[in-house]
Amino acid sequence: MKVLVIGGDGYCGWATALYLSNRGHDVAILDNLVRRHWDNQLQVETLTPIAPIQQRIQRWYELTGKTIDLYIGDINDYSFLLESMRQCEPEAVVHFGEQRSAPFSMIDREHAVMTQANNVLGNLNLLYVMKDEFPDCHLVKLGTMGEYGTPNIDIEEGYITIEHNGRKDTLPYPKQPGSFYHLSKVHDSHNIHFACKIWGLRATDLNQGVVYGVLTEETGMDEMLVNRLDYDEVFGTALNRFCIQAAIGHPLTVYGKGGQTRGFLDIRDTVRCIEIAINNPANAGEFRVFNQFTEMFSVADLAMKVKQAGIAMGLNVEIQNLENPRVELEEHYFNAKNTKLIDLGLQPHYLSDSLLDSLLNVAMKYKERVDKKNILPKVSWRR
């Protein structure tokens, strides 16, 4: 299948592009490389050394004999997007090409506006190209479990059936996003749903949990193919931060009480979920939603798991609670459904099996690259 991976220079996109290429798909990457620019602006750097995208793709060809086409540009530039897709002629588009950090979107007005303009308008451009030129192409869009927020009822997969005043209907699940970034994802979902309904497009919205891990079969082939491991407060995750802190002897910094609970999955499951989605496309006019995660943990759970794994490696690991810079419930109910991808064949990897191999060992290998100035939070939701 011809697959265009938008945002293929990023964390999930790079692993996905290599995975699909390795399994025989004809893969192209479209990316404006802005994530590298944002790192420079914020003076942060991923723990693992990331080569230029052209060198990464060339190394992949040298190792496998498989080519990946590259289109460098911005999907907010409609003419560029249109021409790139005409050249590529994709049967499926995997859309990772959005600003994906909640803290980034909360830095100030400029970052909030940029996040929503980049995400919502770029996605809308893509929908129009598909309508006008590729109506049978299947859109696989990366959403987020953060669209749902933390409701005091079970989270269904995209839709909920309700009865009200004697009548019954199945409606999109209510959204309670917690940042301007998560709000942009809600806008995306609404726009895609609308486009499927009125234009007959086919789309799968993958409401993904927090992804962890560095190594897939492909990214582990060569040092030049290695994936990102972000630990700073803007683009990093709590789990990544804890592993880096354990590696350098810094206390694990838990925001608030640590009861914040989310869905998680291994990067190896992310790429497999994408494969499942493109191999089992939505029907024309269908807006399909999968909750893409395999386990649920609180922040405190993660800190304790990292502490135990660190102690097993001979590290001295302590846990420290900080004042929470975010506005969020620190103790709440959280129970989300995630059966659709399992039913289609996903066989999950679990954190207990990969914490040492895919996170702590990588953190130890590259710990000399840690910039301690970027460990503690500086962005406040209340500003």
- For residue 332, what are its two tokens? 């709440």
In angstroms, the CA 330 to CA 317 distance is 23
For residues 302 and 288, what is the distance between their CA atoms, to the nearest angstrom? 31
Q: Which residues contact 193 (CB under 8 A, 6 or more apart)?
A: 172, 287
SS3 172: strand
The question of whether 115 is a catalytic residue gets the answer no
| Crossing angle (nearest 10°) for helices 299-312 and 238-248 | 30
Catalytic residue among 71, 173, 181, 366: 181
- HSE-CB for 239 with a 13 A CA cutoff: 29
Strands of 295-298's sheet in order across: 210-212, 261-266, 295-298
CA 137 to chain centre: 22
Backbone angles phi, psi at 19, to 5 degrees: -60, -50
**Residue 185 is a catalytic residue:** yes
Report the C-alpha gap between 179 and 317 in whole angstroms: 31
Position 265: which residue type?
Answer: L
Residue appearing with tokens 């972000």: 230
Of the candidates 199, 173, 206, the residue with the CA atom closest to the CA atom of residue 277: 206
Active site residue: 141, 185, 307, 340, which one? Answer: 185
Residue 221 DSSP code: S
Q: Please give the C-alpha separations between residue 124 and each of 16, 185, 199, in angstroms, as whole numbers.
A: 23, 12, 13
Q: State the Cα–Cα distance between residues 60 and 65, nearest whole angstrom.
A: 7
Q: Which amino acid is at 212?
A: Y
Of 248, 251, 252, 222, whose CA–CA distance to 237 is shortest? 252
Instruction: State the catalytic residue, choosing from 144, 204, 216, 270.
Output: 144
307 is catalytic: no
Q: Which residues are annotated as catalytic? A: 144, 181, 185
